[in-house]
Structure 1
Amino acid sequence: MDGKKALYYAAIAIAVLIGVGIVISVISALVTLVSTVISAAISLAVLAGIVYVAYKAGSWLLGSDDSPSMDSIGSGSSTSVDAGTSRQDRLRQQYVEGQISEAEFERRIGEELETEEIDDIDRELERER
């Protein structure tokens, strides 16, 4: 019986070793998968950052950046003049594209010019104070 018991225990030991090997392999595969996903996410984040910086640098170099330029920072009156001009430009664009009629364009431009004159008068009064 001693020989049979030894074979029985040896078979159990081999089965346990095979089971432990399978469990370790599965855990190793899961760890590898998780590390691959994390690595891919970090790589994509870095790539997105590089693309964003390249876009901003290109926009800045080509002058088509939407952020305010250094010239308009610090002068409050130029901002309102630029805003009035851009509203007038938008009205002109709408007229050119046929979105508004000539009469509507003239009416809105007139209102815009009146608003600008009132704003100019208000600024002058503020300066005098």
Structure 2
Amino acid sequence: MDGKKALYYGAIAVAILVVVSVVLSVISAIIGLATAVISGIVTLAVLAGLGYVAYKAGSWLLGDDDSPSVDSIGGGTTAVDAADGRQDRLRQQYVEGQISEAEFERRIADELETEELDDIDRELERER
């Protein structure tokens, strides 16, 4: 093999080595970036979870978790909150099997009808 061919093959080998090195560097950078993004997301999720646990623990310790919502004008629970509470109790009774599906549907329909009448009464009072 003469010197020109050896130099030519050497130059090709160096070029291939450089290209492979660049490609591997780019792949490594992409993997590093993806790892950093995933690590950041996981860190934020863990911090959010810890914050939520701290909030719930504080609410539980201070007894604010199950306190009724207070209407700023009337000083008591609002009619909407009371209706939601009654509907939640009906759902719970149905889930626990204390009432049948037909009874649940009847009571929910009655509750919704009562809620609509309450809304109408409130509108009439506002107009007066």
TM-score (norm 1): 0.52
Question: 1:36 matched to which residue of 2?
Answer: 36
Q: State whether structure 2 residue 74 is matched by structure 1 residue 92.
A: yes
Distance of 2:14 and 2:23 partners within structure 1 = 14
Tell me the CA shift for residue 91 of structure 1.
6.5
2:27 corresponds to: 27
Look up the match of 2:47.
Answer: 47
Q: Alpha-carbon deviation of 1:2? A: 1.0
Letter in 2 for 1:19: V
Distance 2:22 2:66 in 1: 58
Counterpart in 2 of 1:74?
Answer: none
Q: Name the count of aligned residue pairs.
A: 78
Structure 1 counterpart of 2:3: 3
Partner residue in 1 for 2:14? 14
Gaps of 5+ in 2: 77-117, 122-128
AA in 1 matched with 2:74: R
- Residue of structure 2 in register with 1:100 after alignment: none
Q: CA deviation at 1:66?
A: 3.6
Larger Rg: 1
C-alpha deviations, 1:56-84, integer Å up to 9, x for none? 000111111147xxxxxxxxxxxxxx8xx
Equivalent residue, structure 2, for 1:119? none
Q: Which runs of 4+ in 1 moved over 3 A?
A: none
TM-score by length of 2: 0.53
What does residue 126 of structure 2 align with?
Answer: none
Q: Which runs of 5+ in 1 are unaligned?
A: 68-81, 95-107, 112-129
